[in-house]
Amino acid sequence: MVIVNLGRKEGHGKRLGKYELGKTLGEGNFGKVKLARDTDSGKLFAVKILEKSRIIDLNNTDQIKREISTLKLLKHPNVVRLYEVLASKAKIYMVLEYVNGGELFDKIASKGKLGEAEGRKIFQQLTDGVSFCHSKGVFHRDLKLENVLLDAKGNIKITDFNLSALPQHFREDGLLHTTCGSPNYVAPEILANKGYDGGTSDIWSCGVILYVILTGYLPFDDRNLAVLYQKIFKGDVQIPRWLSPGAQNIIKRMLDPNPKSRITMAMIKEDEWFKEGYTPANPDNEEEGVYIDDDEAFSIHNASLESDQGSPTSPPLVNAFQLIGMSSSLDLSGLFEKEDVSERKLRFTSTHPPKDLEERIEDIVTGMRCRVQKKNGISTMLDFS
């Protein structure tokens, strides 16, 4: 077991073994992520600092173990690398690859849609990373823009494997049954609550990501969760005609609501649009020689963990997907509101002041030979063409 002491002050940072801890990069439910420097090599890392008490209180030990066990299997240029796991009496330290380019979500939010060449390159790397995970028996189950990071060169790194599934999580029918993921990215078969293939559902999520990359908005979106699920179930996606035929085709095949006819990873890699300019990644098979012992990292408080599992004062947290999954006979379609597709409205957000937006919109519609009529604070466009 590796027990570390936090030494004080080399310069202005705390010490974690050979690592000097720096600024906080982010915070989560269980602790912080800090920038760290290897004092021997000078190389930068991101250290995820997990508070054991928080993990135990929230009954999330299995989730953290799952993330560590999963990352131990994955050594690929497009997957965030786990280098080392250390532990003190109260904390667990995951030493991870430092990725300094931010989330893909932020890139799309600030820049809008990407050109097909740039978008295809990102999608090729995403496909490489996800297919490698699948080859190792790892299914992510929460693929979304926020879980795809960018390095300084614009290459992607898949992260956040908290909800990932390994072969031991499959039931006797060979399927997964935990309802999880993020609403806008979740595959319809997951919502159906009848078991699903983790690889096929990951492909759906990759299709949603590709759609957002190339269009700048989500293929399935609604404030009403029931209506959102209805759209996902129907697979009723409106693919812009200004996308190339190749891009339209691969998106349509990835967002096929029938998992049995949905395109596979092997078929994606043979697609002509996908193959343009494609250079396959080379997985890193070399052993790093680092010490990772996730079981020992948790062993200090095993007694407390066991007593807390059944404690009435520590109820498990239940998210919306888990709540849906509690009933094997729950048919979500009965909850759906009927929606006339012809009445679907587009929504958008902006950081500009409302007055500026209103004036800009009026200028545009006036240029289209239309007139804007205002009444009771509501603007209506009248078409006189």
What pLDDT digit, counting tens, does each position of 234-263 carry?
888 999 999 999 999 999 999 999 999 999
Quote the pLDDT of residue 375: 64
Out of 44-48, 219-223, 332-336, pick the least confident.
332-336
Residues 142, 70: one domain? Answer: no
Catalytic residue among 38, 106, 142, 340: 142
Q: Please report whether residue 280 resides in a domain.
A: no
Residues 46, 66: one domain? Answer: yes
Residue-by-residue DSSP string for 314-330:
SPPP--HHHHHHT-TT-
In percent, the amount of the chain with pLDDT more than 90 equals: 49
Range of the domain at 207: 104-275
Quote the pLDDT of residue 140: 94
Nearest to 291 by CA among 46, 85, 16, 68: 85
Residues 180, 259: one domain? Answer: yes
Predicted confidence band at 171 (pLDDT cuts at 50, 70, 90)?
confident
Residues 291, 246: one domain? Answer: no
Query: In the predicted model, is pLDDT for residue 112 greater than 50?
Result: yes
CA distance 264 to 285: 25
Q: Is 43 annotated as a binding residue?
A: no
Q: Which residues contact 215 (CB under 8 A, 6 or more apart)?
A: 113, 240, 243
Residues 141, 211: one domain? Answer: yes
In percent, the amount of the chain with pLDDT more than 70 equals: 75
* Residues shown for the chain: 385
Quote the pLDDT of residue 170: 84
Residues 227, 202: one domain? Answer: yes
Residues 94, 110: one domain? Answer: no
Residues 260, 302: one domain? Answer: no
Number of domains in the chain: 3
Higher pLDDT, 258 or 55: 258
* This prediction's pTM: 0.73
Residues 155, 206: one domain? Answer: yes
Contacts 24+ apart (CB under 8 A), 367-373: none
Query: In the predicted model, is pLDDT for residue 321 greater than 50?
Result: no
Quote the pLDDT of residue 376: 59
Is 142 tagged catalytic? yes
Quote the pLDDT of residue 39: 94
Per-residue exposure over 102-125, b if at least 16 CB sit within 10 Å of its own CB, e if not = ebbbebbeeeebbebeebbbbbbb
Q: Please report whether residue 172 resides in a domain.
A: yes
